[in-house]
Amino acid sequence: METETLKRRNEFEWEIPKSGVMRVPVVLFGSRELIAAMDDKVREQLINVASLPGIVDAAYAMPDAHWGYGFPIGGVAAFDAEEGGVVSAGGVGFDISCGVRTLHTGLKLADLQGDVRRQLADVLYACIPVGVGSTGTLHLSEKAMDAMLCGGACWAVDAGYGRSADLARIEDKGCVDGADSAAVSAQAKKRQRDEMGTLGSGNHYLEVQAVSQLSDSAAALAYGLALDDVVVSIHCGSRGLGHQIGTDYLREMVLAAPSMGIVLPDRELACAPLYSALGRRYLGAMRAAINCALANRQILTHLAREAFAKLFPGTTLPLLYDVSHNTCKEEMHTINGRVRQLFVHRKGATRAFGPRHAELPAEYAEVGQPVLIGGSMGTASWILAGTASASGERAFGSACHGAGRAMSRHEATRRWHGRAVVDELAARGILVRSPSWRGIAEEAPPAYKDVGEVVDAADHAGLAGKVARLQPLVCIKG
């Protein structure tokens, strides 16, 4: 993207002023280098988002933004239902509520040296279902499916997967209100019936990591992190159910748009008024998918705990936090001094609420929400803390969700072979287990932007503050 065509607000904030059919400006966060590396399609998509009915304040792009379906990945926008605002299935995405949760292990880096690390990799790979079409041991009846879609992680805990103490450290306390299982198609439910407790494929993973750097001692203390601590991060979402919901409602929204008086700048931005019957049904289905993702990560947490206990009896893996991206959340935000109820779309962006926000667990209230930033197999991940400036939270309390792709999966497989990637990472002490050589090639570390640059930009832009760098040790990959 040509930075010369943008208005520079400061070193890490850029603007495309409102013009033409745009209802609000576009704001991009990132260094000059990160903005210049974004493809022009990101600019086009953001301008289209800024033209949607009822949009508030600005259409935002996080430092990891890249081209996506409808919204760019890393896109954030909020809509006011009272002003004709819409909900966009393309603004949420297909992997609804894909997110990251991080667990403490009570172990230190010294505990995972030599053959122990290999044994742990093998045990985790044997215990965690992973890959395209992967299925778990759980088969949900129709009644259980509806209960899971309405109950989320709370349902999973009640079913014996995890502990009630986990729920306080999950976004929405493990269950989002307003889920409507009746708004989820039979096909979506069928796809999910045997997929609970599975990682899936693509960029999803379970990774064992070590804290290699601390940047904020107060937040690290509140989060229970110290140098050389071993943690586990799980990155996955709502699997086939979320994808089918996206497919179903995008098709319906495209067909219904003319009758609702909506002129779509791009078919991929298919949307419906928030107060319409279609908009309400989509919200109900999307919230059911959020609960599905929360339940899925809760079951995977249970499986990870069982795996660790085989090698390290007595380990309990308490939850640090769980936060989602690819959602539309109903939240209260202050815009120009007025508190408004908004529907915030975060597509490839994560919630990042600042200190003393009412949604935070008490132990994190003074330092802000943990913001979990996933890397790729051979690169670092990060834990940040949500921030709040004197003028309020940036981009509706949002931050980046990862490094962001630097090239397509097709290009990655052309450049690298999975076996070579695994061998190179093993030489660096990072053990990868995966059923797919192609999947590993698609996710080769150089296929992504430098996560350190992305995190630095988020920190400097005031989206979230750096707390801890996590170095990968073992990666179970789809």
Q: Which residue is it, tokens 């979990």?
A: 372
Is position 345 annotated as part of the catalytic site? no
DSSP string, 360-391: S-GGGTTT--EEEEB--TTS-EEEEEE--BTT
What tokens were used for 428? 């660096």
Q: List phi, psi (to 5°) of 122.
A: -70, -40
H helix intervals, 383-436: 409-415, 418-427
What is residue 72's DSSP assignment?
Answer: P
> Which is catalytic among the residues 401, 410, 417, 460?
401
Handedness of CA 158, 163, 167, 170 (dihedral sign): negative
Distances in Å between the Cα of 273 and the Cα atoms of 277, 346, 348 are: 8, 18, 22
Is 89 within 8 Å of 328 (Cβ atoms)?
A: no
The counts of H helices and E strands in the chain are 13, 19
Distances in Å between the Cα of 170 and the Cα atoms of 288, 302, 319, 331 are: 16, 15, 8, 17
Is 375 within 8 Å of 358 (Cβ atoms)?
A: no
Starting at the edge strand found earlier in the chain, the sheet holding 338-347 runs 7-10, 13-16, 26-29, 55-66, 73-79, 338-347, 327-335
User: Tell me, what amino acid is at 110?
Assistant: A
Interacting residues of 248 by C-beta distance below 8 A, sequence separation 6+:
185, 187, 188, 285
Parallel, antiparallel, or unpaired: how do β-strands 26-29 and 55-66 relate? Answer: parallel
Residue 429 burial (CB count, 10 A) = 13
What tokens were used for 168? 């306080």
Distances in Å between the Cα of 297 and the Cα atoms of 97, 100, 278, 342 are: 11, 8, 29, 27
436 vs 128: CA distance, rounded Å: 15
Handedness of CA 43, 44, 47, 52 (dihedral sign): negative
26 vs 401: CA distance, rounded Å: 19
Q: Which residues are catalytically annotated?
A: 401
